[in-house]
């Protein structure tokens, strides 16, 4: 039995032979449920590994405190120079950026257009415009530092939308309670902030967004 995943055997575009039959429908592996499921499982394993490292786990001391395990996972990402976090349970998929199909009469709206996510069209909006975060010059991809623009698809409370993030670092867990932070230093709709290590030796201040409040504001734009 071949232990390699199908995309390693056939290639993500199916140029290898024999060609994966699913590619006739999904075109690229990133649109396949099996590929997406493996990605989510990897994010969960990384979150557990990071949690053990932060808790000093390993060897004879692998017992972890119960409270951090009950802390919901948070997807940490960067938008317009701001490091933000949203509940991971609301994240449908994190995908490479895809072409944007503009919509008419949306010049004064955070709605940017439609994007293809796993073969379905999703409304794509500017999260920074939705939150009222000033625009900054776009920072391009930097493969040497693992920086790639991503498309984040969200499903929450009956909403289905996507937004572009300058980079996505994965699933983290915030300390409970969150450190007391001057609200004047936080972006709108943020509950608090804490320090996150996004790369080895590189720590940033990450703001935890109030998920329900964000969903409500987006619902007003989509109504």
| Sequence-distant (≥ 6) Cβ neighbours of residue 195 within 8 angstroms | 203, 204, 205, 206
In a domain, 208, yes or no: yes
In a domain, 51, yes or no: no
Q: Is the pTM of this model over 0.85?
A: no
In this prediction, residue 62 carries a pLDDT of: 39
Decide which of 132 and 32 is more confident. 132
In a domain, 61, yes or no: no
In a domain, 44, yes or no: no
Question: Would you place residue 183 in the very low, low, confident or very high pLDDT band (cuts 50, 70, 90)?
Answer: low
In a domain, 192, yes or no: yes
CA distance 207 to 195: 9
In a domain, 173, yes or no: yes
In this prediction, residue 142 carries a pLDDT of: 82
State the CATH number of the domain containing residue 182: 2.40.50.180
Provide the domain count of the chain: 1
**Tens digit of pLDDT for each residue in 135-166?**
776 777 888 887 889 999 999 999 999 999 99
Q: Of 23-27, 46-50, 209-213, 217-221, which gets the smallest average pLDDT? A: 46-50
**Residue 204 structural domain:** 67-222
Question: Would you place residue 97 in the very low, low, confident or very high pLDDT band (cuts 50, 70, 90)?
Answer: confident
Decide which of 216 and 52 is more confident. 216
SS3 call for 174: coil
In a domain, 25, yes or no: no
């Amino acid at each position: 039995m071949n232990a390699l995943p199908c995309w390693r055997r056939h290639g993500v575009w199916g140029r290898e032979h024999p060609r994966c039959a699913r590619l006739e429908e999904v075109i690229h592996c990133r649109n396949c449920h099996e590929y997406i499921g493996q990605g989510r499982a990897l994010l969960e394993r990384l979150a557990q590994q990071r949690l053990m490292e932060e808790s000093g786990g390993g060897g004879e001391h692998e017992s972890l405190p119960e409270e951090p395990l009950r802390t919901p996972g948070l997807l940490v990402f960067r938008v317009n120079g701001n490091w933000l976090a949203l509940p991971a349970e609301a994240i449908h998929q994190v995908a490479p950026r895809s072409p944007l199909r503009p919509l008419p009469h949306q010049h004064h709206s955070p709605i940017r257009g439609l994007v293809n996510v796993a073969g379905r069209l999703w409304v794509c909006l500017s999260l920074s415009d939705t939150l009222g975060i000033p625009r900054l010059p776009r920072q391009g991809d930097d493969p040497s530092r693992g920086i790639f623009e991503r498309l984040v698809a969200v499903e929450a409370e009956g909403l289905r939308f996507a937004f572009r993030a300058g980079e996505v670092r994965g699933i983290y867990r915030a300390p409970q309670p969150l450190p007391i932070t001057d609200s004047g230093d936080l972006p709108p709709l943020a509950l608090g902030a804490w320090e996150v290590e996004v790369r080895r030796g590189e720590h940033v201040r990450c703001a935890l967004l109030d998920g329900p409040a964000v969903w409500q504001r987006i619902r007003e734009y989509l109504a």
